[in-house]
Amino acid sequence: NSSKETEGSGKAEGGDKESASGIQEMTIKISHVVAENTPKHHGALKMKEVIEKESGGKIKVQVYPNSQLFGDKDEYQNLVANNVQFIIPDMSKMVGNDPGFNIPAMPFLFESDDAANAFWDGEKGKEIFKRLEKDGVLGLSMWPNGAKHMTNDKKAIKTPEDLDGMKIRTQGGQLLEALYGQLGAGSASIPFGELYTALQQGTVDGQENTFSNIESKKFDEVQKYMTIMGHTRVDYALLTNTKFWDEMNEETKAIVQKGVDEGTKVARESAEQLNEDALKIIKERGQTKVNELSEAEIEAFKKALQPVYDEWKEKIGADIVSDAESK
């Protein structure tokens, strides 16, 4: 049995595919776009720790944060090419692959991370993940980050009318574009790695994100206002290359699966706390003026955005959105 070594940079390096048993030696790459102090990075580091420990060092895991290896524009295609074995994109960047990934952009749909987790762990969520199989991509689990809030450089947002005439950066997709369009705002999709500069240079007036993303990338340094509104969410899909996955023998796969399970647990358990901590830090830094919408103010946004919600409920699939609403 001459073991065929995997060659070239396009593969998990050194994978001994022929061995029916025994841990396969290889190097796995995990790439993502956010900073270190985020649930995504914490989850990825847990995967590394578990996989390296359980394999006795036979499997090496390299984690690349901050778009160091691949950014928003090229991480998916590099996963398809198996140049990276795991990516964890914000689902809003996956809407071109399937409209179901618009769920986190549906205004005020989920009330908590738990509700979002329950949807993606359920039958409808799994169906959406399954639709990536045509690309040779396997959706393994959902990692939450949390609710998004607005930052901008123009004014404290209190009413839907306050957005009128602003230009907002979004993660991408027609639903977020429609949402801002409904409020009289323009929008532009800009990769996360270029966002700080875009805000600093005034390419856009504002953006929407979680507290941990705002704090860890210091967007508050270049935005005068932050409005706590929680109108949309950042939720991630942990994705792998199907061929890479299928070619692991059972023993190796069990170790990698354990890494995935424990990484998911850490990402899920740390998201809320990291956002809470980040909000405190943003307030302490005092660079941006923070206001929080009242219940009544949120109701006004819900009302203003209802037409967009209704239209996109049909576009995503009423059965899917109804299932999400029930969580």
For the CB of residue 242, give the shortest distance to ligand LMR in the complex, in Å.
22
- Closer by beta carbon to ligand LMR, 24 or else 31: 31
Alpha-helix runs per DSSP H in 201-249: 211-216, 242-246
Q: How many residues does the chain have?
A: 327
For the CB of residue 189, give the shortest distance to ligand LMR in the complex, in Å.
9
- Closer by beta carbon to ligand LMR, 48 or else 217: 217
- Closer by beta carbon to ligand LMR, 120 or else 192: 192
Binding site for ligand LMR (CB under 6 A): 33-34, 90, 145, 171, 192, 209, 213, 234
For the CB of residue 89, give the shortest distance to ligand LMR in the complex, in Å.
7
Residue whose structure tokens are 């890494």: 259
- Closer by beta carbon to ligand LMR, 55 or else 92: 92
DSSP 73-127: TTHHHHHHTTSSSEE--BGGGSTTT-GGGGGGGSTT--SSHHHHHHHHHSHHHHH
- Closer by beta carbon to ligand LMR, 34 or else 185: 34
Determine the residue with CB nearest ligand LMR.
90
Residue (of 202, 194, 209) closest to 167 by Cα position? 202
For the CB of residue 264, give the shortest distance to ligand LMR in the complex, in Å.
16
Q: Do 74 and 3 form a contact (C-beta atoms < 8 A)?
A: no
DSSP 257-308: HHHHHHHHHHHHHHHHHHHHHHHHHHHHHT-SEEEE--HHHHHHHHHHHHHH
- Closer by beta carbon to ligand LMR, 55 or else 145: 145
**From residue 3, how far is each of 11, 15, 56, 164 by CA, in Å?**
16, 9, 21, 63
Relative to beta strand 186-189, strand 206-209 is unpaired
For the CB of residue 34, give the shortest distance to ligand LMR in the complex, in Å.
5
For the CB of residue 213, give the shortest distance to ligand LMR in the complex, in Å.
5
Query: N- to C-terminal Cα distance for the chain?
Result: 52
